[in-house]
Structure 1
Amino acid sequence: MNANQRDEQLFSHEMADVIPLNKGRNRADAGNGGARPPSEAQLARRASAQDGEQESNFLSDEFVDLLPFTDPIEFRRDGIQTGVIEKLRHGGYQVDSQLNLLKRPVAECRREVFRFIREAHQHELRCVVIVHGRGKSDESHANVVRSYVSKWLEQFDEVQAYATAQPRHGGLGATYVMLRKSHRARQRNRELHQRRRAP
C-alpha cells in the first residue's frame, strides 16, 4: 500500500460517521432561517460610512518622488529637540506597536497607515514601527511604499519625528515613528508636575 492509498483509507475512516447536509441547506444564507439581505437604507448607511472614512483620510495618493533605496530616512518637526531624533534613530524608545505593510498594494497601505497612526495616538502610544520592506532598487514595490510612508507621516500632526529603524527592528525596511502626547497625557503630566512642586 502506497502513501496515497494510506491517506485515502485514513480519510475514509475519519469521515465514516459524517452525515451530509440536506439539499438546499449547504449555504449559510439558504432557506427561511437565514438572515434577510440588508435593506436599501442599511446599504446606503454602509456606503455613507465608507465614503466618510475615505473622505477623512487626508493622506496624499498623488505621485511621490522615490527615495534612494539605500539611504536612511528621518524627519523631525520644528521644536522637536535633536536629542529626540538621535534617541529615536538609535532605537532608544520602547516600541509600543507595529504595522506590517509588506507586499500590500499602495492604496491598502494608505488606509492602514492612516488607521494605525490615528489609533496609536488615541491609545496614547508614543513610539511605533512601520514595516514597509526595503526593496532592491528605487523602483521596487517595497521602496515605493517606503517613499509613500515617508511622505504620509509628515502629513500627520500627531507625528513628531520618524527615522529608519535599527537592524533589530527591520533596518532600512522599517521606520520608527514618534507620536506626540495626547491632550490627556499632557494634562496628566501637568498635574503630576504641579503635585511635585507643591510644598
Structure 2
Amino acid sequence: MAQQWREAQAQTQAEAQKRREAAARQEAERQWFSRAVGPVTPLHQRNHVHLQQPPPEPLPLQLWLDEERVLQESISDDLDVSTLLDTDDQLSFRRPGIGVEITRRLRAGHWSIQRQLDLHGLRTDEAREALGEFIRQAHRNGLRCLRVIHGKGLGSPGKSPVLKGRVQGWLVQKKEVLAFVQARPVQGGAGALLVLLVPAGHAQTASANESP
C-alpha cells in the first residue's frame, strides 16, 4: 500500500510540475513583445485616425447634356406637314435639294430595311418619344433604311388616322431623316413608312446625286 501511495504522490507532483512549466511558457510568450520593445509609456490622450469621407458621386454631366440635346431636338405636334409632302402616286417626303430619284429608289426597295419600329398601342407622347429615340439610335449606329409602322388608324375614334399624320410631322422635324415614302402593300402599305436616314458622319443635307 505504501508503495502505491508513493507512486500516486509522485505522479501528482509530476503533473503539477508540467502545469507550472506550461503556465511559465504561456507567461513568457505574453511578455515576449514587452521584452522585445522595452519599457512602454502609455499615452495620456489617444490619437484617433479620422478617415476622409468618401467623395461624392460624380455628376451625370453627359446625361444632362443628352437630355438637353433631346429638349433642343424636341419635335412638335403642331407642325402642318401637308405642304411639305409630295402626293405623287402615293406619298413621300424629301429634303430640299434631294432629287425625286431618291424617293423612287426608296420605294422600289433599293435600300434594304435594316430595322423597324411598331408604334401600335402607344399613346401620342409615348409614340413621339419612342420614334425620336429610334431615329437617333439608328443614325448613331450607321443605319440607313428603316420602317416605321404607325397603323392605318382603323381602331381610332372615328377611324381617323391621327398617329399617321403625327408620325409624318415628327419625321420631317428630325434632322437625321433624309426622305420617307409610304410603304408598299407587302411592307404595310398606308400603315407604314420607309425612312431613309442621312449617312452617319455626313452633313444634315445631302446632294441629290448622293450614292447609297
TM-score by length of 1: 0.59
1:16-165 residue pairs with structure 2 within 5 A?
A: 52=68, 55-62=71-78, 72-136=90-154, 143-165=161-183
- Any gaps of 5 or more consecutive residues in structure 1? 1-40, 186-199
1:140 deviates by: 5.3
- Any gaps of 5 or more consecutive residues in structure 2? 1-55, 204-212
Q: Percent identity?
A: 33
CA RMSD of aligned residues (A): 3.4
Q: Secondary structure at the match of 2:147?
A: strand
Q: Secondary structure at the match of 2:133?
A: helix
Q: Do 1:99 and 1:131's aligned partners in 2 also have CA atoms closer than 8 Å?
A: yes
Q: Do 2:182 and 2:194's aligned partners in 1 also have CA atoms closer than 8 Å?
A: yes
Q: Secondary structure at the match of 2:102?
A: helix
1:119 deviates by: 0.6
1:84 deviates by: 1.0
Output the CA distance in 2 between the equivalents of 1:64 and 1:81: 22
Change (3 A) 1:142 1:169: farther
Output the CA distance in 2 between the equivalents of 1:140 and 1:181: 39
Moved over 4 A (4+): 48-54, 63-67, 137-142
Q: Do 1:96 and 1:127's aligned partners in 2 also have CA atoms closer than 8 Å?
A: yes
Q: Do 2:124 and 2:163's aligned partners in 1 also have CA atoms closer than 8 Å?
A: yes
Q: Which has the larger radius of gyration?
A: 2
Q: For this pair of structures, how many residues does the alignment match? A: 140
